[in-house]
């Protein structure tokens, strides 16, 4: 295939991506006007009456976000030969690599010291491929499972195919699983996104926050939107951690930061505190 044909192919692919994103924005308009203080106070009062606790401060400030894209490729299998310190198993069907240390990796000390030891382990390319590109996410970790999410120049990616999980038992690393999305880049200019308060309000009005619960944390990240012509499209997302006061179960739900729509289809997670 000659160079001009390759350039034309890339032009067509990115044109289709841009067209798709334009249609998504057109189909899901949002009102980014500033809600008045009286309305915010009223909604807070309603939530309080429903037994819903909120953080003391939730930002009303709008920020900018991007549509991002990553090429859908198998980045992990090519790293198997370099993983000399772990026994590996690669699942091609779901693009997940499992690694088990060949020699025991013992952990000791307080939580901060253990995290430092885990970072040293994951950042060693003989143990974990692309490990340095993952950041610890305490809100999705348990006492025996440490969750790391893929970090980019634009923010953290919260998706099952961009995640590292390190499992620990009896103060030693038993194994890890990793999925990696690869290099990620912006495909459109930055756009205005809704505030954290707007996201919480959208969840409440859509009955996604049940009575007698507690909003524990609100964080901006990126989630998978769709796949277009071999590329994974990501969008800015407000992640909201909600705890049921009775059961103490914690659920992470997501709000599209462009449209204020609740993301469904596997975009909610139960956090296991084992």
DSSP secondary structure of 29-97: ----PPPPHHHHHHHHHHHHHTT-B--S------EEE--EEEE----SGGGGGG-TTEEEEEETTTTEE
214-239 confidence digits (pLDDT tens): 999 999 999 999 998 889 999 999 99
Which residue in the block uniquely carries the two structure tokens 């067509």?
Answer: 12
**109-125, pLDDT tens digit by residue?**
999 999 999 999 999 99
pLDDT of 167 reads 98
Could you tell me the residue ranges of all domains in the chain? 3-69+185-271, 74-179
Query: Taking the CA of residue 59 as centre, how many other CA atoms within 13 Å lie in the half-sphere pointing to its CB?
Result: 12
CB of 51 closer than 8 Å to CB of 213: yes
Bridge partner list, 64: 192
pLDDT-derived band of residue 271, with 50, 70 and 90 as boundaries? low
CATH code of the domain made up of 74-179: 3.30.310.160
Give the fold, CATH level 3, of 3-69+185-271: Lipocalin (2.40.128)
Element at 147 (helix H, strand E): strand 145-152
3-69+185-271 and 74-179 share one fold: no
């Amino acid at each position: 295939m000659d160079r001009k044909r390759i350039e034309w192919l890339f032009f067509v692919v990115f044109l289709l991506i841009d067209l798709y994103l334009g249609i998504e924005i057109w189909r899901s308009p949002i009102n980014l006007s500033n809600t008045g203080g009286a309305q915010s106070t009223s909604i807070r009062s309603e939530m309080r009456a429903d037994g819903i606790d909120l953080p003391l401060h939730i930002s009303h400030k709008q920020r900018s976000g991007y549509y991002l894209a990553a090429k859908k490729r198998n980045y992990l299998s090519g790293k198997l030969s370099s993983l000399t310190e772990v026994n590996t198993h690669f699942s091609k069907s779901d693009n997940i690599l499992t690694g088990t240390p060949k020699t025991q990796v013992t952990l000791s000390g307080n939580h901060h010291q253990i995290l430092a030891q885990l970072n040293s382990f994951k950042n060693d390319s003989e143990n974990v491929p692309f490990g340095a590109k993952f950041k610890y996410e305490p809100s999705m970790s348990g006492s025996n499972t440490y969750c790391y999410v893929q970090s980019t120049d634009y923010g953290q990616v919260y998706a099952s195919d961009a995640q590292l999980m390190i499992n620990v038992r009896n103060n030693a690393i038993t194994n890890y699983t990793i999925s990696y999305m690869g290099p990620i880049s912006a495909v459109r200019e930055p756009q205005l996104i809704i505030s954290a308060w707007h996201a919480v309000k959208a969840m409440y009005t859509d009955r996604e926050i049940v009575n007698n619960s507690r909003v524990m944390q609100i964080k901006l990240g990126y989630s998978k939107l769709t796949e277009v012509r071999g590329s994974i499209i990501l969008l800015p997302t407000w992640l909201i951690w909600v705890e049921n006061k009775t059961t103490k179960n914690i659920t992470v739900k997501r709000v599209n930061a462009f449209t204020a729509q609740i993301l469904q289809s596997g975009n909610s997670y139960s956090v296991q505190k084992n």
